[in-house]
Each structure stands twice: as structure tokens, then as C-alpha cells.
Amino acid sequence: MTILRGRAAQPLHPGYTIKAVLSGKIPLIIGEFVKEACITDIHSVYKLLTKQENLIRTKDKKLRGMNYDSFLTVFRFARYLGLVEKVREEPMIHPGKLLSIRKPDGPHVVESKRIIYRLTPKGVEEKDAWSNLYEAWKTKSSKD
């Protein structure tokens, strides 16, 4: 059995949060239970859960939640493992237009979109990989 260390040993796993939100077991910040969501919404739930957990902890035992970039990296491993899949793109929920710079065919400006994801059947059935998505991906890629 693997001994968990670091973030994987914490009671609040980003992977479990992703799975719980996309399974409809944990509501979004707005209180809605969903089966599809964008990464930003899932990260907001994760941050809220971290804050709630820290309310009952002493100052020296507080959890350090992941920032958005780190959470995005963990989510990417869930995509690589085939645990989540892209459903569609939607306009951003923001007054006005948010713009992004894309570089595939030379730099150009495009309107930003929200990418909506859902669990795949494999993601619903999987149990172990969600505790440490990076290790699961590393193990899978070394077998390939």
C-alpha cells in the first residue's frame, strides 16, 4: 500500500472534489447540484471547502488550498486519464467581453469561452486514481 504524503495525505483532495462536484454530490457555490461544470466553478467549490475545513483547525494545522493554476494542472491529469471529458464551450459569465490571446497559427485575439466538463463512465467507476491524479497518470504512462 502506498503511503500518502503532502497534499495527497490531506483530508481534502482536489481529485475527490472534482469527482464529487461532477457527480452531483457537492453543490456549486450558487447552491446548484450539477453533472457538468467548468474548471473555475469546481475550483471555487474546492476553495470554499478548504476555508470551511480551516475554520475548525488551529492556526498551525490549517490546510493550504491549491491556487487556480495548480488546480488546472491536476484537472489536466484527470483529462489525460480519461476520467473527465469536454462537453461544450459557452460564453463567459461576465459583463462585457473577456479576450484571450491564442498562438496556434500566430498570435491572435479571441473572445474567451468557458469549457464545460463532465465525468466519463470510467471517471464514475474509478476510485483509486482520484486520490492522486498525478501518480495515477505517471503510473499509466510508464506502462504504455
Asked whether 12 and 49 are in contact (CB, 8 A), the reply is yes
* Chain mean pLDDT for the chain: 86
Q: Helix, strand, or coil here: 52?
A: helix
CA distance linking residue 36 with residue 141, whole number of Å: 27
Domain residues of the chain, as ranges? 12-87+116-135
Helix (H, G, I), strand (E, B) or coil at 30: coil
CA gap 106, 64 in Å, rounded: 38
pTM: 0.83
Pairing state between β 84-91 and 36-38: unpaired
Question: Tens digits of per-residue pLDDT, 134-144?
Answer: 888 888 877 76
Query: Pick the residue with more confidence: 61 or 4?
Result: 61
- Checking if the pLDDT of 94 tops 80, the result is no
- pLDDT score at 13: 84
